[in-house]
Amino acid sequence: VGALLGALAGGKNGALKGAAIGGGLAAAGCLAINVNSRQTKTAAQADRDYIRTRGALPREPQVVSYTPQLSASTVKRGQPFKVNSVVELVNGSAQSVSDVREELVVLDPQGQPFKSGSKALASNNKSGGRFENSFELTLPAGVSQGVYGVKTNLYVNGKLAATRDLRTQLVMLDENSGAARLALR
């Protein structure tokens, strides 16, 4: 976009300057998100445990537990931190789990979506069970101090099944080192 606007404003040289400026702005606003997921309990095990404690499966798939949390309380700008979650869900007696996806949305200090990413729990998941999911995030070097929201959404068979809000505060510890504290609120 920067290159296009630069070209419209100043011809060929404007396109080069626009591309450089546009690329720099995009890099400054970038928030990298990497995701890992693994299944730690099969659907059959989760269903069996649910039946043992509650008598029978629910009619529709059900989230038994969903616990996202931050993995670190101190981060440096430009350095990664993680949001880890453990999800357990069971099949329903009338409908099985066919798709499970977790979404992460980072909100800026004004509460506006800053970045988002989502991934199916465990690649090619077509069942219930227990999953450990991890989103690795990197806040850009130029982000300002303030309270950032981290919202996680869990979708089962395309429907929102659970949501959690984590609030984090980015506080400068040492301006020269770029160290910052990310504290759960």
Q: Extract the tokens encoding 72.
A: 């670190």
In this structure, are residues 96 and 163 in contact, taking their beta carbons and an 8 Å threshold? no
* Topology of the domain comprising 31-184: Immunoglobulin-like (2.60.40)
Residue 137: per-residue pLDDT: 80
* Closest alpha carbon to 104 in 35, 49, 7: 35
Encoding tokens for residue 54? 């509650």
CA distances from 16 to 28, 103, 127, 147 (A): 18, 36, 50, 37
> Among 153, 157, 163, 131, which residue's Cα sits nearest to residue 36?
131
- Which residues on neighbouring strands pair with residue 162, listed in sequence order? 154
**Coil, strand or helix at 176:** coil
* Cβ count near 117 (within 10 Å): 16
* Domain boundaries, given as residue ranges, for the chain: 1-30, 31-184
Encode the chain (185 residues) as per-residue pLDDT tens digits: 444 444 455 555 555 555 544 444 343 344 455 667 888 999 999 999 999 999 999 999 999 999 998 776 656 667 777 889 999 999 999 999 998 999 988 888 888 888 888 888 765 567 889 999 888 887 777 777 777 778 999 999 999 999 998 866 554 444 454 445 444 44
Looking at residue 139, its pLDDT comes to 73
pTM of the model: 0.71
